[in-house]
Structure 1
Amino acid sequence: MRLLTIYIIFLLMLLLPIGTMAQDSLYKSKSMPASKMSRVSNDLKKSLEVNDEAQIAKNYERLANEFFNKSDNTKAEEYFKKAITSYTKLKLTDDVTRVTRSLAKVQESQKDYKSAIKSYEVAGDISEDKSLEKINANDANRLRSVASPVVQEGYVNSNIELLKKENKEEEVSAAYVQKAENSLKQKNKEVAIESYNQALAYAKGKPAAIIKINNEIAKVYASDNQFDKAIGINEKLLADAKTKQDFSTQIKQLQSLSVLYFKKEDPNKAITALKEAFALALQKGNSAEAKKCLISLTQYYNGKGNNKESLALYNQFLQNFEQLVQSDTTLIDTKAFQVSEDKIRQLEKEKSLKDELITKTNTFNYFLLGSIGLLLLLFLWIVKTLFSIKTKNKEIALQSLRREMNPHFIFNSLNSVNQFIAENKEREANKYLTSYSNLMRNTMENSNKDFITLDNELEQLKKYLELEHLRFQDKFDFKISVDAELDPERTMVPNMIIQPHLENAIWHGLRYLDAKGLLLLNVQLANAKVVIRIEDNGIGLTKSQELKTSNQKAHESRGMSNTKERIGLLNELYKKNIRFQIFEKTLPETGTIVEIVFPLIDKIA
């Protein structure tokens, strides 16, 4: 009864105070070096604080691998999923493929075959490597055939060959372990041991994997009652662990040896191994393994009715209990990670809020930029439309001005025809009408053009001057000269700009002369510019103004303004810098000179 009471007290102390005392020891052991788990969790916190998605993804994966190595598959699965989310956000396909495959392995180790199959399939689908795609497909099919080890064997062998080609030694080793487990399902222990040994050959540089595989080989020998071989393997692992001062492995190998010795019916060696493991666990602060050893030892002694020895072990455990808990790094790491995980959860929430805010801000910014873009396009469209309308209006205005055929000329031409008819000069009237109709036809044909060839323009001007000369044969002669360097068939000139000035020279200068005058039209090339010079020796601008009626003054004024408007519109539309000037000759000469200057043009865009 006393023994039972002590046992209950011990269990209460073992189950309840450890959490509290471990929390206290967390603060008492600040000087202890941080574990790998602590370093990774701290790195994760830092990356979450600065919201570095690439580092967050990397640290999630690192943390998941730490949990996987410690066989905490639930936590490993949680952090692998978080890593996948971050890598997916970064669009890192290779990383997503790798971590999804790791997730599948964790799910498989938990016998969650349905989820594992799906993860293997996803890893295969997104992989850009055809071999890796096939490897994941094989693993998915292997799990579908979990009830048929023979079918599974084919997929495992296929993966071994593919992984060898890819030089993935660690995965080749894992595949051979799968092959060994498959052989055990088929009760083929020889092939299983052979596969385990092949797995060892590819596990070089991975001490944890080598220890695990050797332990599995030892279990196979033990299941076949080959205890000496199994013991030999565990003793070698124990010796290696002592050399490397790997106390955790020493404790586990001593426990395995005790189990083998009990099965071999050698309880003395079994108890010796257990006591050594118990003492080492107490010394090195491994409370979980100390508890396991203590339970095994007390069960054995109680079964033998040796309560005294059990009590001695309990007393030894209780005397070292506080120190054991304080120095148990596994408890400290667990509690430290709980604290870290709370901080990680808080940082994840803050990151989620930041990401949501960034997303909303980006959405608003995109909307704003899109709206600005649309407004800009609308503005540009309006500007373009207005410019197009303005240009069209200018073109219409230019056509309208160009088509303002000199009413004075038309009226006088008809009067001249009437005069020829009245004087019975039928032949002259017919000739005049024929020339007049040709001129009108050419003028109408070119009425929609802003520029025509010099050759075409001179032809029209010559016809016009010939008509006027028919009426005023005794008043003037005319002469047209063109620079030999100009090609009249290629050189372009403004349409109907020259004619009004020829008409003014005839009607307001030459026809008032008593003697016959001279009208000169000269087209020259000077400094890559075309210079058109209209010169007469008529009465000049001053005297002409004195003789004009008010109607004639209005007509001439309109003709000049028409020319200026047309030149202004042509300059706006074509940017040709056409210049126009008119001046009177100085005494003793009389007459007027008109100059029109523009760049040499051989093509109009």
Structure 2
Amino acid sequence: MQKKISFLFILASLFSFTITYSQAPVPTRQDSLFALRLYSVANDDRIDPKEAMKIYDTLISFSTRKNFTRGIVWSYREQARLLARNGQLEKATSCLDRAIEAAIKGPEKIELTMIYFYSSAFHNEYSLHDRAFIDAVKAVESAIKINKNSLTGKCYSQLARCYFQKGDYPNAINYHEKAISLIRKTSNVKELRESLLSLSGVNIAAGNFSKALSQLKEVEKGNPTVPVESKKLPEMYGNMGYCYRSMGKMDLAIDYYLKTLEVIKKQGADKGMLVTEAVVKNNLGDIYLDQGKYDLAEKYYNEALQKAKVANTPEEFKTAYGNLGRLAFLKKEYKKAYELQEKQNLYADSVMNKEKMQALESLSVKFQTKEIKDKNKLLEKSNALQKAYLAQEKTRKNIILYSSLGIFIFLITGIIWLYNYYRQKNIINANKNKELKQKLLITQMNPHFIFNSIDNIQGLIYNKQDKEAVSYLTKFSKLTRQILENSNENYILLSEELEMIENYIVIQQLLYNNKFDFRIEVEEAIDRESILLPPMLTQPFIENAIKHGLSNTTEKGMIDIRFYLKESKLFFEVIDNGVGFDATKKVENHKSLAMTITKERLVSYTKNHDFVVQTDNIVDEHQQVSGAKVSFEIPYIYEN
């Protein structure tokens, strides 16, 4: 094999150096066959990648001299593939740019369309979605000019995939439907099935389950003379089961989930199939759990856990342990539920750490690439200066003066750049330290609140108030997780803040024997899903209203919470119908602590050292104090 490669390599080199130049030569059939033969040798998986790169270089040189566009385009495309596998993504993109440039100059416009298509799919695979989208649009434009239904349909499908990656489901559906309309005019059954499966996936993501199901059924029925590929069956049946489950048709969902498992069993389980099998069995367990069939639910959850162990996927470990914990809780096996919940949390942390490590590795690669580029640039500049110096020394002595001046300016510029760089770096580090302090401050939860909450929930369990205990435990667990998760965020959605406030007050109601009620009002002009604000900023004032404002109230206490806009500024207001503000030290101390914490956080966000919390007593018609009101402005970000 090695001798054969060497012979072809030498022969191609001789062709490259002995051919005579002419204006736009037309490649002969012999030239085309030789180039394609050389391409097939380089494309053999048994060839060493470095050797393959050399053969492709020779093929590019040969194809350029012979004006054989296809040989140039294909060689650059395969070089891009090899470079990407080796982690050299920037060089791979450069190769694809050269392939596109050659196709633009070439006579065969179908080659241009196909290289745009390939480049789009390539950049999508490596998460370069903006470049993928640009090439997909160009592929469609080129395909429309050729006016070939199958090719245009294929390019429409690629553009739809790019829209899907951007989260633009309406456009993704639109272009998938355009592709299917064109592919139906051809006899390409395989391409039609691929497009229908892709469209059904987008509709599932968009929540259009009935449309997705209709498309999946068309794939299932299909052309009886051309059966569905066996490797596509698990995806098809699994998605059909998911659609039926989402539509509330549990019997049909179970049927299709079981069909999925039968197909996987026949095909044998590689890692991808093991993950699919674990997902399907977790879904079956969920259905049986909702139906109260605990034995079947436990059976499928345990089988899902075993498949996850074989596939070694932390995400499915987390799901399986979480489901088994939920089942144990419903069966009142609280100790087992707790142990399973701990295992779920362990794998949840594992998934989170894995994502963080991947992000750090990505940043590290980017930093190393930039560092190498900077070194190369400095090296190039140094070589240029050295060559210029040698040349100038032979001609005029006064050039030395200009060279010295240039070096001096370069050094001064470098020193200024380094100064600004390290100054900016110190500012960034200082800001990070402030953010860290702020996050630590947010994550502090009152131990008395935690222990009292657990004691009260335990009391409900002892009093056989299982439903109330489950409800409060769910809210308490959710509140705890919300606080821990949001401690890593500088801003959260207003809707998330409202949910945290509600969970917090409901737990407080339990602690205070339901001696008060509450209302939360958000002005209609405020979009809860578009406003971002610092998390748990309002909690100290709500706690103050409950703990001190209603301290002398035994029943019919009321806490009114309101978010409203005033002159494009967001305000928070909490009102209680308690004793109002007085001069006691205890209230003043609590109030000053809350104000200090809030001011410290707000100063960090707004850089405004004059932040004021407005406090007022509410008086009735007899001028008697009937409650207290606290309000202040909240910094926010509007995200459209």
TM-score, normalised to structure 2, is 0.34
Larger relative contact order (CA 8 Å, sep ≥ 6): 1
